Amino acid sequence: MASSGPCVALINGEHCPLAEARVSVLDRGFLFADSVYEVIPVYDGRLFQLQAHLRRLQSSLDGIRLNNPHTDETWSELLNALVRANGSGDLALYLQVTRGAPAKREHRFPQDCRPTVVAFCQPRRNPSDAELEAGVSAIVREDDRWNRCDIKSTSLLPNVLASDEALTAGANEALLCRGDEVVEGASSNLFAVFGDTVVTPPLDHRVLPGITRDWVIGLAAQHAQPVTQRPVSRTELRQASELWLSSSTRELFPVTRLDDEPVGSGRAGTVWHQYRGWIQAALQSAS
Ligand code: PDD
């Protein structure tokens, strides 16, 4: 169900219209990207995998040495209230925690400064079967991000530039390489199919531990078809019969063109269809 509700934001515990939501220019999220974030999908008013997102939020906050401003229980109350204020429906909930807005701009951590908590919702549209079948295109490029990509930080300029490069090349995603290894997309995790083996790059400091990645790996295990977690080389990427992207806003999306060459048949592949069936069944039973 698409949301037709109002756009309401949460700023430090208060609701206000998103267009009127403001934070200070001294906020360290603005000045230093000194902040972390989450994007949580909402299906028909229900926050999906909330506990997993809150666990990753905690791990990102630990990574930047910032105390969590809320307990999981309070997060759940705040975020569910925000979803209701936005008319429920199918949404993507964005939340960000910054180190706050001290009186002075300086690099060192401020003392006695409360974190800023911002959240808002945007409509999320489920792709049509035809869109999924056609898939998206991707380019391959160097990964020039920092070395803590396991932290979901808002230092996203390299991701933004890579996405723009993809768009300029007529593609939808940039697959990022460190040396000969493909690690993930600019805003997604990567899966590759070789024969009947599904492979995804292993988690380390170069990869965001995607909630969708983890969920998909779990679904495959439940169906006794474990995903192999191992490095994928640039050369192998071109030999894959199927490539998929995973993210909270895109679920599991086929990549059917890579650097202007078709991937496999150039359409969503048979293994993807099998996974899609598992995903739809899991979403159905969660609703
Ligand atoms: N991005 N890798 C990167 C670099 C990402 O930015 C994302 C998601 C993922 C997938 O993670 P998850 O399955 O938890 O959404 C992997 C979000 C959607 C964004 O920045 O908008």
Express each pLDDT in 155-208 by its tens digit: 999 999 999 999 999 999 999 999 999 999 999 999 999 999 999 999 999 999
What CATH number does the domain containing 45 carry?
3.30.470.10
Q: Whole-angstrom Cα distance, residue 76 to residue 58? A: 14
Kindly tell me the burial class for residue 251, based on how many C-beta atoms sit within 10 Å of its own C-beta (0-12, 13-18, 19 or more): buried
Q: Are residues 115 and 152 in the same domain?
A: no
Per-residue confidence (pLDDT) for residue 12, from 0 to 100: 97
Q: Is residue 1 domain-resident? A: no
Per-residue confidence (pLDDT) for residue 5, from 0 to 100: 60
Per-residue confidence (pLDDT) for residue 2, from 0 to 100: 43
Enclosing H/E stretch for 213: helix 211-222
Q: Are residues 158 and 179 in the same domain?
A: yes
Structure token digits, residue 133: 């079948």
Q: Is residue 2 domain-resident? A: no
What is the 42 CA–ligand 1 centroid distance (Å)?
15
Per-residue confidence (pLDDT) for residue 287, from 0 to 100: 78
For ligand 1, whether the C-beta of 153 sits within 6 Å is no
Active site residue 152: yes
Exactly one of 28, 53, 152, 250 is catalytic; name it. 152
Report yes or no: 91 and 123 within 8 Å, Cβ to Cβ.
yes
For ligand 1, whether the C-beta of 162 sits within 6 Å is no
Per-residue confidence (pLDDT) for residue 222, from 0 to 100: 97
Which residue, 62, 92, 123, sits at the end of a domain? 123
Q: Are residues 100 and 140 in the same domain?
A: no
What is the DSSP secondary-structure string of 143-207?
A: --S-S-TTS-BS--HHHHHHHHHHHHTT-SEEEEEETTEEEEESSSEEEEEETTEEEEPPPSTTS
Give how many domains the chain has, as a whole number: 2
For ligand 1, whether the C-beta of 248 sits within 6 Å is yes
Q: Are residues 161 and 281 in the same domain?
A: yes
What is the 245 CA–ligand 1 centroid distance (Å)?
10
Q: Is residue 209 domain-resident? A: yes
Identify the segments of the chain with pLDDT beneath 70.
1-5
Per-residue confidence (pLDDT) for residue 102, from 0 to 100: 98
Which residue, 123, 149, 175, sits at the end of a domain? 123
Q: Are residues 134 and 160 in the same domain?
A: yes
Q: Which domain holds residue 78?
A: 8-123
Q: Is residue 3 domain-resident? A: no
Q: Is residue 185 domain-resident? A: yes
Number of other residues whose CB lies within 10 A of the CB of residue 87: 18
CA angle 90, 47, 6 (to 5 degrees): 45
Q: Are residues 73 and 97 in the same domain?
A: yes
For ligand 1, whether the C-beta of 187 sits within 6 Å is yes
